[in-house]
Structures are given as structure tokens and as C-alpha cells.
Amino acid sequence: MYELIQASEHCFYIQSPAKIGLVRTEGDGVYLIDGGNDKDAGKKVRRILEEKGWTLKAILNTHSHADHIGGNRYLQNQTGCRVFAPGMERDFTVHPVLEPSYLYGGNPPKSLRHKFMMAQASDAEPLTAEVLPEGMEIVPLPGHSFDMVGFRTAEDVVYLADCLSGEETLAKYQVGFLVDVAAYLDTLQKVKEMEAKLFVPAHAKATENIAPLAQVNMDKVHEIGERILEICREPAGFDRILQRIFEAYDLEMTAEQHALVGSTIRSYLTWLTDGGEIAAEFQDNVLLWRARQ
């Protein structure tokens, strides 16, 4: 873990719970793609940079989930590097309490205010094309998070953030976190059609051919959608739908899983409702969802 792996002449990634990209510029300067999951990760990354004699210029965050921005603050305090984040992801990075608040749907309890759900704040600036190393491009990848992005480098290495999961991860967790199912499917279709020298997903093995894994992730989304439709053959409230999904996939309910999977299932309900496959209705002041016949 935390091994530096070379992807091309100037492109690397650090093997960690969520892969950290690294792009070396002229001289000893480097840019990180994401900052690791916590302070300890930041320390390990800093040790790698010091061993190589590299200077951290900036962290380019793909999105604002804690496992990608948790090391920002430590690295920024220790090195003085700048931090950049795209769109709304910057707001969540500067004000990380927004993440558990969004997931919970209100002021989050202490059970959701920990490093796995809420990173320490870092001083992030808006991510724009002008702040990137020469030849690097921003690749929009919305769906898993509001304004998540990846990056294509001048050496044709594409860092894909969390836009897809490895098959082992899917088998373990089943319901991957999403904020916008329709946008996510569009992203997967775009990724499926991409070509590159190497693809580096944060939670799957680096590969030269990403299309098969993109299809596996698309199939899982449609499978979950079909399960929800089946549950809603009879009018069902949210808690019942969530319970049935946990039962179907043999998941264990915790405060974190209730927030993460619960938020995701609401996103599926929005997708199915907007697509005309289910309808929302109120009975005895209770919101129910029903599949259209």
C-alpha cells in the first residue's frame, strides 16, 4: 500500500484505498490528483515526495468525498501547495460539513461527523483549465458526485476518479454511491467509448481497455433499477424500499450505510420518476412510490 507506480514517463499513481494520481512537470515539480483519505495518507504521500526530491505544486481534486480530500489539509499546511476543486465540489471541500448534511438531509448527527464522512477543510480554489500542467485536460465525469472530473494527461493517461468500480468492489458493496443516476449512465457510456494509453480508476485496476468494466457498472445500475421497480409493484414507502434493497443484497445497516445507500436509493427514485417508470403519491400523509402499470 502507498507504492508509487509509474504509468508513463511523467505520470504515476500511488496505490492506496483511493488511488492518488501524480503528474511530474519539468524539473522537480509535481501535481497530485486527489490528496488521500486522511492525515496519515498525507504523511505517506509527503514521504514519497521527499524521497524523490519532488516539490508539490498543487492538488487537483476530482471531487469532494472524504477519501479523496482527507489529506489535503495536511499536505497544504506542510508544503504550502495550492488546492483546486471543480464546480460545487470546491464548496464541499472548503465546507466539508456539507457532505454529511447532504447525505443525512439535515444537521448531521455525531455518528456521521467523522473522517470517513467529513474531511478536514482545506483552502480550495476553483479548478479551471488555466491552472493545469501543460497538456492536461479536464474530463467531466458527473453522476457519482455533482461535478466530479477526471484528467487526461499529455501522455494519454486518463485518471477516472470514482466513475466506475472494480468487479470485486461491486460484489462487496453492490450499491455504489450516486447523486445523479442519469448523468452517471451518460458518463459510463462516454468512458466506455474512450481510448487511452492507460486508464487509472480510483477503485479498480489500471487498464488499457476500460470498456468491459464500464459495461459491468452500467449493468449493475440497471439491475438495481429493476429491483426498485419490482419492490414498487405495490405502493411502498422509502424505508420499506431501502429495507428490501438491503435484504436483496445482504447488506448490513449502519448509520453510514443508511446515509450513503439511502441517499443513493433516493437518486434512483428520482431517475425512475423522471423517466416515467414510477409515480410518487401521498396516502395518509405518507409519501409512497408505485411502479406504473
The pLDDT score that the predictor gives to residue 285 is 97
The pLDDT score that the predictor gives to residue 129 is 97
Tens of pLDDT, residue by residue, the chain (293 residues): 899 999 999 999 999 999 999 999 988 999 999 999 999 999 999 999 999 999 999 999 999 999 999 999 999 999 999 999 999 999 999 999 999 999 999 999 999 999 999 999 999 999 999 999 999 999 999 999 999 999 999 999 999 999 999 999 999 999 999 999 999 999 999 999 999 999 999 999 999 999 999 999 999 999 999 999 999 999 999 999 999 999 999 999 999 999 999 999 999 999 999 999 999 999 999 999 999 97
| Architecture, CATH, for domain 3-134 | 4-Layer Sandwich (3.60)
Name the H helices within the chain. 39-52, 66-69, 72-79, 87-94, 98-104, 167-173, 181-192, 211-231, 238-248, 255-274
CA distance linking residue 181 with residue 17, whole number of Å: 24
Give every CB contact of residue 167 below 8 A, 6+ residues apart in sequence: 213, 216
Rounded alpha-carbon distances, angstroms, from residue 178 to 39, 187, 262, 263 = 26, 12, 10, 8
The answer to whether the CB of 70 falls within 8 A of the CB of 40 is no
Task: State residue 238 phi and psi, 5-degree precision.
Answer: -60, -45
Quick one: how far is CA 51 from the chain centroid? Answer: 29
> What burial letters (b/e) apply to 152-169, b meaning 16+ CB within 10 Å?
bbebebbbbbbbbbbeee
The pTM score is 0.96
Three-class DSSP category at 211: helix
The pLDDT score that the predictor gives to residue 73 is 98
Which residues face 56 on adjacent strands? Answer: 30
The pLDDT score that the predictor gives to residue 87 is 98
